[in-house]
């Protein structure tokens, strides 16, 4: 997820106008969960500062620190002393359905959530015996099923005993899935519960689809000021203290649009479907923003285009900055992930931009470009690939 995670953990990236982790906790609360233990590590202060003791969410939140990132099994083991007899285990990058959580809670034995996928090579998958897990198989180029492990479990204290017996995996980590397999070998009946919807944040562009899905299921509020001459269509949320200036055209008919608090929008801009704008964002004259996430404090002053992009906090666009999102040949856009050029699976993908980037006037950015936090471009620059400091 870098460079978006250079200053925050992945779980705190915004989806639908609030951190992804907050969306997870809200759904857990709706399912009846009132106590949460968060296993934190990287930039843990961002999580603690945002959630505190959980009173705002109507929950009790406690924290456990995982100093060394030694795998999912190790992370769960860190919370052993705070565990109750039965508990949900949720990954911070997977959004559960409230109905699935309620069903899992009602089952009188351990359970694991699953989702049938078209391309299981990206995921660990389950082998099933009846309605129970026979084995979970890590991701491979030749997966034995298309029933993906959704990373959501209802477990009991036996999992800690299974984790105690593990040795490190090939990548030197203690894997929770190895613990599940150990339980299955010992005869545990872990029921598989299939989900109707599964949203995972694994790569930067997943934020765009996740935001769209989250906003489609949420009641949107109109709290800001809309001047005469502005046009708002379809599902549009406008935060408190935000002003939508005359001539702005905001079209949420196809997919909802979220505009956060204290923003300055327009005049004469065009905001299109699927866009999610954070707090204190400026979208100026003759700017078009389409299906993009723009984080807090970013300024897109005038004469710019932002399409299918994820923009970090406190960026500043010089006049005439263009973020292209479509290849001339119409093929899928590729982008750099962990030093490797990967197919995004998207025909349209703009820019993944870290925090604090500033572009000079008339900067042009190719589709799929990844720009590291703090980069400064010269006027008239052409950026592509992986742009480092």
Q: DSSP letters along 267-319, please?
A: SS-EE-TT-EE-TT-EE-TT-EEES-EE-TT-EE-SS-EEES-EE-TT-EEPT
Average pLDDT estimate for 10-33:
93
CA distance 21 to 5: 14
Percent of the chain with pLDDT over 90: 68
- Section 223-249 average pLDDT: 96
Q: Quick check: helix, strand or coil at residue 123?
A: coil
Is residue 318 in some structural domain? yes
5: in domain: no
Looking up residue 274, the CATH number of its domain turns out to be: 2.160.10.10
For residue 285, pLDDT beyond 90: yes
Q: Are 286 and 197 found together in one domain?
A: no
- The CATH number of whichever domain residue 24 belongs to comes to 3.90.550.10
Pair 324, 364: CB distance under 8 Å: yes
The predicted structure's pLDDT at residue 121: 84
Burial degree of 7 (CB within 10 A; 0-12, 13-18, 19+): middle
**172, 202, 232: which is the final residue of a domain?**
202
Confidence at 301, pLDDT banded by 50, 70, 90: confident
Q: Mark whether 244 and 129 lie in a shared domain.
A: no
Q: Classify residue 120: in a domain, yes or no.
A: yes
Q: Over the range 308-344, which residues count as b (16 or more CB within 10 Å of their CB) and which as e?
A: bbbbbbbbbbbbbbbbbbebeeeeebbbbbeeeeeeb
Does 88 have pLDDT greater than 90? yes
Could you list the residue range(s) of the whole structural domain that residue 294 is in? Answer: 209-387
My answer on whether 174 and 318 are in the same domain is no
Q: In what order do the strands lie in the sheet with 282-283?
A: 225-226, 243-244, 264-265, 282-283, 299-300, 316-317, 358-359
- Based on the fold, state whether residues 378 and 266 are members of the same structural domain: yes
- What percent of the chain is helix, strand and coil (3-state, nearest 5)? 20, 35, 50
Minimum mean pLDDT range among 122-126, 208-212, 223-227, 240-244? 122-126
| pLDDT higher than threshold 80 for residue 199 | yes
Q: Which residues are catalytic?
A: 302
Give me the sign of the Cα torsion angle 320, 323, 326, 329.
positive
Domain total for the chain? 2
Same domain as 194, residue 229: no
What pLDDT is recorded for position 238?
96
139 and 225 both lie in a single domain? no
227 and 182 within one domain = no
Task: Kindly state whether residues 258 and 372 are assigned to the same domain.
Answer: yes
Is 80 exceeded by the pLDDT of residue 172? no
Write out pLDDT tens, residues 136-169: 888 888 888 888 888 899 999 999 999 988 887 7
**Prediction pTM value:** 0.89
- Tokens in use for 354? 């870290």
Tokens of 140: 């491979």
Mean pLDDT of the chain: 92
Of 202, 231, 253, the one marking the end of a domain is 202
Structure tokens at 270: 């065009």
Lowest mean pLDDT among 61-75, 134-148, 358-372: 134-148
Rounded to an integer, the average pLDDT of 318-332 is 93
pLDDT at 198 over 90: no
Q: What is the pLDDT of residue 140?
A: 80
Residue 69 predicted with pLDDT over 90: no
What pLDDT shows up at residue 318?
A: 96
Residue 309 lies in a domain: yes
Last residue of a domain, one of 159, 178, 202: 202
Can you give the length of the chain in residues? 389
User: Can you tell me the distance from the alpha carbon of 120 to that of 233, in angstroms, rounded to the nearest whole number?
Assistant: 38
Q: In the chain, pLDDT over 70 holds for what percent of residues?
A: 100
pLDDT of 170 > 80? The answer is: no
Whether residues 156 and 232 fall in one domain? no
């Amino acid at each position: 997820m870098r460079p978006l995670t250079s200053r925050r953990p992945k779980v705190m990236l915004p989806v639908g106008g609030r951190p992804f982790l907050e969306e997870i906790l809200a759904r857990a609360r709706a399912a009846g969960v009132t106590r949460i233990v968060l296993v934190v590590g990287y930039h843990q202060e961002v999580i603690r500062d945002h959630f505190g003791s959980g009173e705002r969410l109507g929950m009790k939140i406690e924290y456990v620190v995982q100093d060394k990132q030694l795998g999912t099994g190790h992370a769960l083991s860190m919370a052993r002393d705070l565990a109750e007899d039965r508990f949900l285990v949720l990954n911070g990058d997977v959004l559960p359905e409230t109905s699935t959580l309620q069903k899992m809670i009602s089952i009188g034995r351990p359970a694991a959530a699953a989702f049938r996928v078209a391309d299981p090579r990206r995921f660990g998958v389950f082998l099933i015996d009846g309605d129970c897990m026979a084995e979970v198989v890590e991701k491979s180029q030749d997966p034995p099923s298309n029933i993906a492990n959704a990373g959501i479990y209802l477990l009991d204290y036996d999992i800690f005993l299974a984790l105690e017996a593990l040795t490190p995996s090939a990548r030197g980590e203690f894997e929770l899935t190895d613990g599940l397999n150990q339980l299955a070998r010992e005869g545990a009946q872990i029921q598989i519960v299939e989900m109707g919807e599964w949203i995972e944040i694994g790569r930067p562009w997943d934020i765009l689809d996740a935001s769209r899905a989250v906003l489609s299921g949420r009641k949107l509020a109109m709290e800001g000021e809309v001047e005469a001459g502005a046009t708002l269509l379809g599902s549009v949320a406008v935060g408190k203290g935000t002003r939508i200036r005359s001539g702005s055209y905001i079209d949420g008919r196809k997919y909802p649009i979220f505009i956060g608090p204290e923003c300055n929008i327009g005049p004469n801009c065009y905001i299109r479907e699927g866009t999610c704008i954070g707090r204190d964002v400026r979208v100026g004259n003759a700017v078009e923003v389409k299906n993009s996430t723009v984080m807090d404090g970013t300024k897109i002053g005038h004469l710019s285009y932002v399409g299918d992009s994820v923009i970090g906090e406190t960026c500043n666009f010089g006049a005439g900055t263009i973020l292209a999102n479509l290849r001339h040949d119409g093929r899928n856009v590729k982008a750099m992930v962990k030093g490797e050029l990967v197919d995004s699976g998207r025909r349209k993908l703009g820019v993944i931009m870290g925090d604090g980037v500033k572009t000079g006037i008339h900067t042009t950015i190719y589709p799929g470009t990844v720009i590291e936090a703090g980069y400064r471009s010269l006027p008239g620059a052409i950026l592509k690939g992986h742009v480092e400091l």
